[in-house]
Amino acid sequence: MNDPAFRPLDPAHLPLPDKLLRAITKAQRVLIVSHGQAVQAHTGSGASASNVQSDPDAVGTALALKRGLGALGKTVDICIDAELPGSLRMLDAHHDIKRATDLLGHDWDLALIVDVSVPSRMSAANALLLPHAKAVAIVDHHEANPHAKEFNLAPEAAFLRWMEPDFPAAALMAGAILSRFAPAIAATGTDLTDVYTPALCGFSTDTGWGQIQGLDTRYFRYYKHMLNAGSGTHLGALRKILTSFTLPARVTALANHALTPEAANLPNALARTLMELEANGQAFTTHTYVDAHGKPSVQLATLTLAYRQALQAVGHLDHVKLTLDDLLPPFVVKHQQAMTDGNVRLSAFIAETENNQVYCSLRSPGEPLALTLAKRLQGGGHERMAGAQVSGQSLQEVQAQIETWATNQGLMVPVAVAPDSLHTPPKP
């Protein structure tokens, strides 16, 4: 980013459908919706829900659009119908994000659904809020093909789509929109740094701070433009925002090594629970599988709900409010590091959530395996980074489904599951 030869590009040059731009320009009351809680059945008052991890790209895109469009005098509401984990609560410092029930009785000229195109991931926003929008637009960078009939729209509502599966983050789409209005926003005296900063946080995390392989460097030129806009910001400031919330030290220690001296400082029952879960392979376990040539090719990590709940109780002892989503990142980091060290073709991280659902994060650095598997699990994403939220199956059932798929694809040899071990082909 500090290289003068790496010149910034204005996101205003990115493609943006004319109909969408006209709809945003015309709208005076705007609703922005992103990831909420996933529902197991059709959205409605009787549906049960479980947490889906909100991510900085979804939150940052929504906040950037609110700040920019709000500066133009538009009334802008944000609905993310889920409890935000700690780091994202810091990003929403002004408490602009509301739950669906907080916005009952409102109506809007336009609803922008950002970074998601699956109604079930919007929770109550689909049933309670979308019918009160005159037009609805999907703004998403995932591989998907949404249709109006899938959403709970008003009878005469217009339905627009802007899908950019090659974009690394929805935040880039926010940049494309806001850059069209940048002169008018600046004329109000609003600092564009404040507008772009949430989107920059989202772009940074979705691209792994530029470390994810296979990304088109051209997109980082647009990122640099937003980074330099207004009074400017810098990468250090973005990292500070995203790391301003930290887990209690002993929660972090237990997330990395459950059977440490940390457990001795806990109430007996809680310490016993943690150690039993670890000893029985019901905490965080990593499985590495090999192909027919004996080369490590697939890595799969599992995390139980019971272990996260126990760590949540540890946080409460330190008077820190933790969501279960706060307790995913340390395990994701461990898994990603192991994936990098193992140099495997496919990596899967699966974790139990509430209501018998399983969260799946899939990576395939060198080939488009992640998206193929995600679609098999009724999920989606990008070719090399994808995911799914599987309902009605246990952690063990999803693990077996992934193993079967990988075996059928010739990625690994069929084996019996044994935690924390290297699975090798049986001897002839």
DSSP class of 12: G
What pLDDT is attached to residue 251?
86
Which sign, positive or negative, has the C-alpha torsion 291, 297, 298, 301? positive
Residue 163 lies in a domain: yes
- 29: containing domain: 11-242
Are 166 and 281 within one domain? no
The pTM of the full predicted model, rounded to 2 decimals, is: 0.77
Torsion of CA 177, 178, 179, 180, to 10 degrees: 60
CATH of the domain at 59: 3.90.1640.10
Are 238 and 256 within one domain? no
Are 220 and 352 within one domain? no
Domain count, the chain: 2
Q: What is the mean pLDDT of each run of 10 residues along the chain (428 residues)?
A: 81 93 97 68 30 73 95 96 80 89 96 91 90 96 89 94 92 94 93 89 82 77 86 77 77 74 76 84 87 90 91 86 82 75 85 84 87 90 85 91 93 62 40
Q: Which residues of 391-428 are buried (b: 16+ CB within 10 A; e: fewer)?
A: beeebeebbebbbebbeeeebbbebebeeeeebeeeee
Torsion of CA 317, 319, 320, 322, to 10 degrees: 60
Are 281 and 348 within one domain? yes
Are 254 and 178 within one domain? no
What pLDDT is attached to residue 261?
64
What pLDDT is attached to residue 45?
28
Are 96 and 209 within one domain? yes
